[in-house]
Amino acid sequence: MQMLGWANRFNICAFLDNHQYSSTYHTVECLLAVDAVQGFHHTSSLKDFLQNENDWLFGSIGYDLKNEIHNLSSTHFDGIDFPDLFFFQPETVIELTDNEVIISCITVEPEKVFESISGFATHNPQLTTHGSIHLQQRISKEEYIETVEQIRQHILRGDCYELNYCMEFFAEDVSLDTITIYEKLVSLSPVPFAAYYKLNDKFLLCASPERYVQKKNNTIISQPIKGTYKRDLQNALHDKDLKYQLQQSEKDKTENVMVVDLVRNDLSRICTEGSVIADELFGVYTFPQVHQLISTVKGALKPNIDFVDVLKATFPMGSMTGAPKLKVMQLTEQYEKSKRGLYSGSIGYIKPNKDFDCNVVIRSMLYNETNKYLSFHVGGGITFNSNAEEEYEECLLKASAIMQVLQ
């Protein structure tokens, strides 16, 4: 992690790592962007840049960008305080593929960057915390189960079909060595959409397996995840059987197809008529802790559709909201007890040719170095057939790698 240690000296950096996962839609193994030449906090200024400039952009989209897109509001507590939108034009971009390193700079000589990284001492882990990390739940297990039952009543009345309900774990007065914690997290969960993101005093340590949206030429894809089974790493035959059980689970397939329909509807707003299809339905993918049910929806973009247009048509992503989207976002505000912040938002990049790739921020830690607040969320899709106890256990399963790192 010599390169990441070097990048962390800058006030702003974004490190995106594929961890050598092979995929039809794979683009680059690893990307690093450092040092903001200019930054954009609003969709209007971001759109102006995209229309007039051709350069790299890296950045993040917080869940509460929904308030601008859908005319909503949120009054819940946010201990991290990432902006709802921030993209930056980096001074330096480093692309790592299987066999080469490409360094692009605006004013600095690429050779100087290479020399600077090569001469940078390997990161020296400091004391990770001052004392132990005392994790707390924003809501208790009993409150969680009661809320799931209330959500099921909304579904019974026809208010919604599925709602992604999340809860926060947090710790206060934490002094964190963010690079060390990130290294531990991704060593436990080497996933295709991992990210280390620093914005001044705010950090995202992300081990996400999920893609939000990718554009290549005029093709756009989204790959929602719905359906999670725990792995059995001690018994290969049982692990294989668990994978088969997920593939056959009617509950999980029902949950997944609801989100697929929502994503198809969103993409249809920006794609040519008849081009939006489910390219893969109910694919079972294996990650270090879990098996997951992933579908791929793709379409052909209409002319002159840019990244901001895609955001306004598809954000927040259906896998993190539910259906119908507007109603479940209102209910989410009613039942959740803290802002999601970057959780269930996205981090990603836009290339000079206007292609882009963005993840879904899940399985992630958020940290504010100034107020020493550490936070992570977990959640899952609630349908009428959901069992509240089982949904709670699934949340703990999704949090297991983070808890293991912190404990």
pLDDT in tens, the chain (407 residues): 689 999 999 999 999 999 888 778 877 789 999 999 999 999 999 999 999 999 999 999 999 999 999 999 999 999 999 999 999 999 999 999 878 899 999 999 999 999 999 988 776 665 454 457 999 999 999 999 999 999 999 999 999 999 999 999 999 999 999 999 999 999 998 999 999 999 999 999 999 999 999 999 999 999 999 988 989 999 999 999 999 999 999 988 988 999 999 999 999 999 999 999 999 999 999 988 889 999 999 999 999 999 999 999 999 999 999 999 999 999 999 999 999 999 999 999 999 999 999 999 999 999 999 999 999 999 999 999 899 999 999 999 888 889 999 98
Kindly report the number of other CB atoms within 10 A of residue 61's CB atom: 26
Kindly report the number of other CB atoms within 10 A of residue 99's CB atom: 6
pLDDT at res. 130: 46
pLDDT at res. 126: 57
pLDDT at res. 7: 96
pLDDT at res. 131: 54
pLDDT at res. 289: 84
pLDDT at res. 195: 98
pLDDT at res. 2: 85
Distance CA 60, CA 71 (A): 20
**What residue spans of 190-249 are helical by DSSP H?**
236-248
Cis-peptide into 190, omega within 30 deg: no
User: In order of start, what are the domains of the chain with their CATH numbers?
Assistant: 2-406 (3.60.120.10)
pLDDT at res. 33: 98
Could you write out the three-class secondary structure of 125-160? CCCCCCCCCCCEECCCHHHHHHHHHHHHHHHHHCCC
pLDDT at res. 21: 82
Q: Calculate the alpha carbon distances from 300 to 51, 124, 216, 274, 316 in Å.
A: 20, 47, 10, 9, 20
pLDDT at res. 124: 63
Length of the chain as a residue count: 407
Beta pairing, strands 346-350 & 101-105: unpaired
Locate tokens 């994503």: which residue?
263
Kindly report the number of other CB atoms within 10 A of residue 93's CB atom: 24
Spell out the long-range contacts of 49-56 with Cβ–Cβ below 8 A and sequence spacing 24 or more: 49/89, 50/306, 50/307, 50/308, 50/350, 50/354, 51/306, 53/89, 54/352, 54/353, 54/354, 55/89, 55/106, 55/352, 56/89, 56/90, 56/93, 56/104, 56/349, 56/350, 56/351, 56/352
**How much is the pTM?**
0.94
pLDDT at res. 29: 84
Element (H, E) at 285: strand 277-286
Beta pairing, strands 202-208 & 193-199: antiparallel
Q: What backbone torsions phi and psi does residue 293 show, to the nearest 5 degrees?
A: -95, 115
Contact call for residues 49 and 57 (beta carbons, < 8 A): yes
